[in-house]
Amino acid sequence: MDRPAFRVNGFAVVISLLVLAGILAAIGAAAGELPLIVAGVVWVLVTAFVATGFTVVNPNEGQVVQFLGRYIGSVGDQGFQWVRPLTTRRRITLRVRNFETAKLKVNDADGNPVEIASVVVYRVVDAAKAVFSVDDYEEYVAIQSEAAVRHLATSHPYDSHIDGRTSLRDGAEVAEELTTELRERTGLAGIEVMEARITHLAYAPEIAQAMLVRQQAAQVVAARTHIVEGAVGMVGLALERLAAQGMVELDEERKAQMVSNLLVVLCGDRAIQPVVNTGSLYG
């Protein structure tokens, strides 16, 4: 939709007006006092008409040009420019902008209430669409960002306990999905979403304590599983080394007792108090 508007360097137009003033002054001076006055009036009217087309375009700025309500193009070249007279220009910043959404309270894919917020980095790439496709492109981006974050939160769980299932805590995957969805939502408004990332993610206060206990229990179970696996390996290695070196002969009952004692020592969560068998004092 965006197309370049007719424009001329503003300084070239100013020089042309000065040259015209000189020509009219020469003609008026040669013709007499009255023609000189008429030439002056003509120059003032022409200058006033032409001056309505002067505009200054700042760096990283675009101007949407309209003539009597009709879109005639956009000006993106910075500097002192001249466009068609009697036109209206609306300035649109093309700078990279960012904002952070409010903390939203939504239910994740497992039905748990969570608080979530994100930061969105975007810029205008089509000034005409930003002006004519939506009423207020800034408000449009803000509302669409909130809708995209809500949809993302309801599509994934806060914490995934299944391999291959994406959770809200998977930062890179979630950020890519959110960015892609926002690009689809804001493209019609001439907006390019450069990046979108989750900046705040937490369980809602009413379930935060319960979910913390659940997470701690899961970590304890995982740690215990790892400890038991290591202890079984160490016990097997100890029995193999004793048998290979022939240090002691163990029957099945003594092996079972040794395995039991080693597992207690290796898997216990408290310090073990050794017991030394010194025999009877009253032999």
β-partners of residue 208 are: none
Sign of the CA dihedral running 32, 33, 38, 42: positive
Of 102, 103, 144, the closest CA to residue 122 belongs to 144
pLDDT digits (tens, 9 = 90+) for 111-154: 888 899 999 999 999 999 999 999 999 999 999 999 999 999 99
**203 with 193: CB under 8 angstroms?**
no
Name which residue leads in pLDDT, 24 or 71.
71
**198 with 175: CB under 8 angstroms?**
yes
Predicted local confidence at residue 152, as pLDDT: 92
**146 with 178: CB under 8 angstroms?**
no
pTM listed for this prediction: 0.68
Residue 259 pLDDT greater than 60, yes or no = yes
Shared domain check, 129 and 87 = no
Residue 14 backbone dihedrals phi, psi, to 5 degrees: -60, -45
What is the average per-residue pLDDT within 55-70?
91
Shared domain check, 165 and 76 = no
Q: Which of 43, 73, 92 is the endpoint of a domain?
A: 92
Residue 1 lies in a domain: no
Residue 52 lies in a domain: yes
DSSP letter at 78?
-
Range of the domain at 23: 8-92
DSSP H helices, 32-84, are 33-51
CATH number, domain of 110, equals 3.30.479.30
pLDDT digits (tens, 9 = 90+) for 214-247: 666 666 666 666 666 776 777 677 767 666 766 6
Shared domain check, 194 and 105 = yes
What is the domain count for the chain? 3
Residue 3 lies in a domain: no
Residue 282 lies in a domain: no
Predicted local confidence at residue 275, as pLDDT: 57
How buried is residue 94: exposed, middle or buried, by Cβ count under 10 Å (0-12/13-18/19+)?
middle
Shared domain check, 194 and 213 = no
Shared domain check, 105 and 199 = yes
What does the mean pLDDT of the chain come to? Answer: 81
Q: How far apart are CA 142 and CA 137, in angstroms?
A: 9
